[in-house]
Amino acid sequence: LKLQLIKVEKLKAVEQMGAAISHEIRNPLTAASGFVQLLNDDYLPRHKRREYLSIVKDELQSAERVIQDYLTFAKPSLASIEELNVKNELKQIINIVTPMANQNSVEIITDFSVIGFIKGDRQRFRQCFINILKNAVEAMPNGGQLYIETNFSQDYVTICIKDTGIGMTSEQLERLGEPYYSTKGKNGTGLGMMVVYSIVRAMHGLIKVESELDAGTTFHIKFPTITLIQKSEN
């Protein structure tokens, strides 16, 4: 009986991993196919064409990296730690989700008044914020505002993401991040937030979520600041 149970557990783990992989790969593939669509315009200026092609290449590479992570069972927390300029990273992430926001009449409003540097894996940082931003856009089916702000103190870089969407009940809020918890039926996997929590934890960060039904949701994500000497803004 014990052996059989172990087998069932193993099968479950394999199933979960399969679901997680497909979820994490879907983001970069969705972004890539969005830009391929944009490339299908005969009048696109050459510099735009070049820019979009490079985004497509990046996104395909990022999908490949996700697969590699899983295949090699690489430790998620220690994949490749770099200094990340939060503002620059967020700008790139916003570029990726902008087509999706436009499609949903969601206006993106940013306030990156201060710069901050954190330590982390670039690919995972992206994955984390794409998941949060995708959820925010999906929470505003009739359009709305998506505010993205950064704050910087000696100890922490705080990233605030606020939407004016459908919000969550306290019961929903409590279940956020639970594997397979989704209110989107066939359109959801319930793995996005699980991945978000695990990435933030691996980067020694903290997440606070506030939500009000029919008013919106705000995520506050805090990461330890790294102190850099003579880093200037570009």
Give me the residues that bind Mg ion (CB under 5 A), please. 135, 192
Q: Which does 205 bind (CB under 5 to 8 A by kind): Mg ion, ligand ADP, none?
A: none
Question: Is the dihedral angle over the CA atoms 96, 128, 217, 109 positive or is it negative?
Answer: negative
Judged by CB, which is closer to ligand ADP: 157, or 196?
Answer: 196
Q: Which is nearer to ligand ADP, 63 or 136 (CB)?
A: 136
The interface partner of residue 147, options being ligand ADP, Mg ion, none and the CB cut-off 5 to 8 Å by kind, is none
Instruction: Provide, rounded to whole angstroms, the least separation between the CB of residue 153 and Mg ion.
Output: 29
> Is 26 or 119 the residue whose CB approaches Mg ion more closely?
26
Specify the residue, 60 or 173, whose C-beta has the smaller distance to ligand ADP: 173
Q: Do 222 and 157 meet the contact criterion of CB atoms below 8 Å apart?
A: yes
- Answer with the entry of ligand ADP, Mg ion, none that 123 interacts with (C-beta below 5 to 8 A by kind): none
Q: Is 143 left (phi over 0), alpha (psi -120 to 50) or beta?
A: left
Beta-carbon contacts of residue 230 (< 8 Å; ≥ 6 apart): none
**Residue 149 interacting entry, from Mg ion, ligand ADP, none, C-beta within 5 to 8 Å by type:** none
Token representation of residue 94: 């916003």
CA dist 148 and 111 (Å) reads 6
Residue among 101 and 118 whose Cβ is closer to Mg ion: 101
Q: State the nearest-atom distance from the C-beta of 54 to ligand ADP, in Å.
A: 28
Shortest distance (Å) from residue 22 CB to ligand ADP: 11
Compute the least distance from the CB of residue 177 to ligand ADP, in Å: 7
Comparing C-alpha atoms, which of 92, 84, 72 is closest to residue 148?
92
Distance (Å, whole) CA 96 – CA 167: 23
Q: Where along the sequence are the contacts to ligand ADP (CB under 6 A)? A: 131, 135-136, 139, 163, 165-168, 172, 176, 181-184, 188-194, 217
**Residue 225 contact partner, candidates Mg ion, ligand ADP, none, CB within 5 to 8 A by sort of partner:** none
List the Cα angle 107/108/114 in 5-degree steps: 155
Q: How far is the CB of 189 from ligand ADP (least distance, A)?
A: 4
**Residue of this chain nearest to ligand ADP (CB atom):** 192
Encode burial over 151-186: b for 16+ CB neighbours within 10 A, e otherwise.
bbeeebbbbbbbbbbbbbeeeebeebbeeebbeeee
Cβ atoms of residues 204 and 188 within 8 Å: no
Q: Largest alpha-carbon pair distance within the chain?
A: 66
> Could you tell me the smallest distance in angstroms from the CB atom of residue 173 to ligand ADP?
8
